[in-house]
Amino acid sequence: MTNQVKTVFLLGALTGLIMLIGKFFGGNSGMVVAFFFAMFMNFSSYWFSDKIVLKIYKAREVTPQQSPQLFSMVSNLAQRAGLPMPRLYVIASQSPNAFATGRNPEHSAIAVTEGIMDILNSQELEGVLAHELSHIKNRDILIGSIAATLAGVIMMLASMARFAAIFGGFGGNDEDEGGGGIVGLIVLAIIAPLAASIIQFAISRSREYLADSGGARIAGTSSGLAKALEKLHHSSKKIPIKSNPATAHMFIVNPLSGRAFLNLFSTHPPIEERVNRLLKMR
C-alpha cells in the first residue's frame, strides 16, 4: 500500500471517528456539523500540521550561524540522500529525542532536542538525522503529521465527552436528538482515543524499520544509529519529554516509554529488535 493510499485511509478513518463523536454529542445534526468540522481539520492538517506539531513543542527554528555543526551534518546527509535541505528546529528539552515533519520533501523540517545533541557523538547524531531524512524521503512525514493533528482533536473531543458524561451529558436519550445518553458518552470517551491509537499503530510502526535501514544507508554505516538508539532508549526513560500521546509516533524513540498503559499501543518497535536489524546490516 502506497503512502498516498495510506494518507487517504487515515484521513477517512479519523474523519469517521470525528463524525461518530458528533453523533453522540448532537445526534444526526451533530454528525453533519462534525463532518464539516472534519473537512476543515483535514484541510488544516494537510497544509499546517507541521506548524501545529512544532508549536506544541515550542520548537525554535535555528540558522546556520546559530548551529553550524547541525547544519553541516544535515546538509551533507541531505545531499547524499538526494533531498532538499529541510528546515531545522531545536526543542528546549533535556530529554533526548528527534522527529521530522512536513507535507513533502520540499516542505520538510527536522526537530531535535537540546538533550540529544548533548549525549550523542557525531557519528551517532548523524545516524539519527539520517533516520529522519529517510522518513522524509519515504514521505512518511505527511502521514505522521496528519495522524498527530487529527488524533489530537479526537482525544480532545473524547475528553469533552467524558466531562459530558460526568455532568449529565448533552441533550436527551433520543438517538436523533441527544446522541446516546450518558452510557454512550462513557463508551465513546474510552473507545475514541483507543481507536485513534490503533490507527496510528497500524500505519506508523513498520515505517520505523524502513527508516532505520534507509538512514543507515544514507549515513554510510549502521553502527552510529544502533548506538544512538540504545543511548536514547535509556536516557529518555530517565528524562522523559512532556509529550502529547497523539504525537508520540513521530519521535525516533517512544517518548511515552515510562507510561505503562500507553505502551500497549506503542507505535515504535522494540529497541532491541531495531538495534539487532541494524547490526546485521554490517
Catalytic site residues? Answer: 132
CA atoms of 197 and 158, how far apart (whole Å) = 13
CA atoms of 232 and 95, how far apart (whole Å) = 9
Q: For residue 38, which of 55, 56, 9, 13 has the smallest C-alpha distance?
A: 13
Burial of residue 185 (CB within 10 Å: 0-12, 13-18, 19+) is: buried
Q: For residue 217, which amino acid is it? A: R
Q: For residue 54, which of 110, 104, 95 has the smallest C-alpha distance?
A: 110
User: For 282, which DSSP code?
Assistant: -
Burial of residue 5 (CB within 10 Å: 0-12, 13-18, 19+) is: exposed
Classify 100 as helix, strand or coil: strand
The strand pair at 107-113 and 87-91 is best described as parallel
Angle at 22 between CA 16 and CA 26, to 5 degrees: 150
